[in-house]
Homo-oligomer: A and B are copies of this chain.
């Protein structure tokens, strides 16, 4: 926000950019090409806007806001830059907001200051976003929670349930995302209790070197969000349920694990996310290798690049 604007600055506006009626752009703002800024907007001087950005009406961009290429900002989206605003009381530094490449912010959403909206993410209309949003996550509500993942930037309409295709009769079902696959395990239920069985490497397709259990996960939490270079993983939700998103850098899908006789195999170079844990969920994971920090890719952009190279 403007409290002191004594410096003289030069505004840059790219080719093909359209600015509508009743819009103020303060000197110094950096605006890319082919941008569309609708009526009734206001852009302060220390604002950076990439190429092909759309900004609908009633949006006011304060100092410290950065919109990367291909971002969409819906009407009446509210940006802020001070967590505890008081009139005439200025923090040493205003908090910045960054909307990464290809992300969209739905109409009427409110963004608390100091957050990043990740690449390809989607903020639902009317959401009140209090924390940073990971790449491709869909967040909605007040406060905003992750409620899904965009399958890809270009695959907007269809997110079929792969689990439904996993027929009762098939033991292994490829998910269409790299070589990730659902496996059906043996379940025996009798009066004394239930029994689920798997054998290595007959049922689980590798000799495990390591297992781990994930439990007591708060329902709004997201885990995973990384890929392995060499290590295989096999996930079984043995109590409660959770959702698993798998991504090979080109396509992605989501499956719901909710029975101890369903496992999911994540081969190397598969980006995996787990979320929507039920309160009683226990996730059992087998891995083909010992822990090796160098085997992890934790940056999505880096993962996409590495996945392309390997092909």
Which A residues are within 8 Å of any B CB, using their own CB?
A: 1-2, 20-22, 24, 34, 36, 38-40, 42, 52-54, 56-58, 60, 62, 70-72, 74-76, 78-80, 84-89, 102, 104, 106-108, 110-112, 122, 125-128, 140-143, 150, 153-154, 156-157, 189, 191-200, 202, 207-218, 221, 223, 238-239, 260, 277, 280, 282, 284, 290-291
Contacts and interface: CB of A to CB of B under 8 A. Distances in A.
Given A58-B58, A79-B107, A223-B192, A89 B156 contact: yes
A293 B54 CA distance: 48
Given A108-B108, A193-B223, A197-B212, 16 more contacts: A22-B24, A38-B42, A39-B42, A40-B60, A54-B88, A72-B85, A78-B107, A86-B102, A86-B153, A107-B110, A128-B141, A128-B142, A189-B216, A192-B221, A193-B215, A199-B291
Contacts of A110: 76, 107-108, 125-126
Nearest to A1: B56
A-B CB proximity, top 5 nearest? A193-B217, A126-B128, A110-B126, A108-B110, A78-B108
Contact of A216 (B127, B193, B210): B193
A156 B1 contact: no
B70 A60 contact: no
Contacts of A217: 192-194
A284 B34 CA distance: 58
B60 A58 contact: yes
A129 to B, nearest CB: 8
A3 to B, nearest CB: 8
Given A194-B214, A223-B193, A57 B57 contact: no
A72 B87 CA distance: 5
B223 A87 contact: no
Contacts of A218: 191-193
Contacts of A22: 22, 24, 40
B282 A199 contact: no
B60 A56 contact: yes
A21 to B, nearest CB: 5
Contact of A290 (B128, B157, B199): B199
A199 B210 contact: yes
9 contacts: A24-B39, A39-B42, A39-B60, A70-B88, A108-B110, A197-B211, A199-B209, A199-B210, A215-B260
Contacts of A150: 84
Contacts of A143: 140-141
A40 B42 contact: yes
Contacts of A210: 197-200
A211 B198 contact: yes
Given A192-B217, A193-B223, A195-B213, A75 B87 contact: no
A84 B122 contact: yes
Contacts of A191: 218
A171 to B, nearest CB: 16
